[in-house]
Structure formats: C-alpha cells, structure tokens
Structure 1
Amino acid sequence: MMSADPLKPNPDVLLELVRMKMPFGKYKDRLLCDLPVSYLEWFQQKGFPKGKLGELLQTLYVIKLNGLEYLLKPLR
C-alpha cells in the first residue's frame, strides 16, 4: 500500500522489511533488511518474485541502492 505522500516511505512496508524473513534460497530465514545488495542485484537482473515478497525486495533494493538504510535502523 502506498503512503499518502509519495515522498514519505510507508511505515508498514519498512516494518515488514525488518521483520520478514527470506522464505527460500541461499539466504533463507535471514531478515530481508539483512540481505546483501549483491543478492538484490541478482534479483534485479533475473526478475523479482511475484507478489508481496517481490515488492518488498524491490523496495529494499531501492533503499540500499540509494543509501537509505538509516530509514530501517530505528525499526530494528
């Protein structure tokens, strides 16, 4: 769900990034926010999963690519 103001991150999405664990693959059971950029870049090239997980991973990719991890720190 998008935030009312497109310039402000949706707090619910940010909370999911620090609480949800990767459900499969090399980094199974690791918190999404702890996934390395290289893994997110791999998804960027190969295609993100469909649905909610894909949206979260794309959001995390943008956060990490732009040096915005500080948005997640207070939520941990």
Structure 2
Amino acid sequence: MTFKEKSQKVTVKFIEFDIYGSTAQGTKTVLTIEGADYEKLKTTHYHWIDWPDRRVPPADGAILELLEKARVSK
C-alpha cells in the first residue's frame, strides 16, 4: 500500500502472517514501512484474537507466551 503523508510518499508492504498459540489464539503480522527520506523499517504486530470481551483472559500462561514472542522479535 502506498499513500501520501504531508506531501511524502509512504509505502507499507506486507511480509509475513502467522497464527500462533497453544493456550490463546493470536496472530503475528510483519510489515515494512518505507518513506521518501527514511530508511526501511520493519515492524512486527502481535494480536491476541480470543481476548474475552469485557473481561480479562484466564491466567494460564498465555501472556507469558506472547511476551516471549515479543521479546525475541526485538
């Protein structure tokens, strides 16, 4: 996807998508962002899909699994 932000062209490219989880369902999406005057940046987005609406998830280690994945991705 390419769009303009304050007269500069910004490009966002989809790189990777993965579903993970042993106790909780989540997704990992990897994108690169490139602007006219900027170096190419890589970002990883984690999304906890089955987080309960209006409650907190059970304390079953799922949050530790998500933290482990985020720490490794730097």
Q: Which is higher, the Rg of structure 1 or of structure 2?
A: 2
More strand by share: 2
More helix by share: 1
Report 1 or 2 for greater relative contact order, CA contacts < 8 Å, sequence distance ≥ 6: 1
Provide the TM-score with structure 2 as the length reference. Answer: 0.29
Provide the TM-score with structure 1 as the length reference. Answer: 0.28
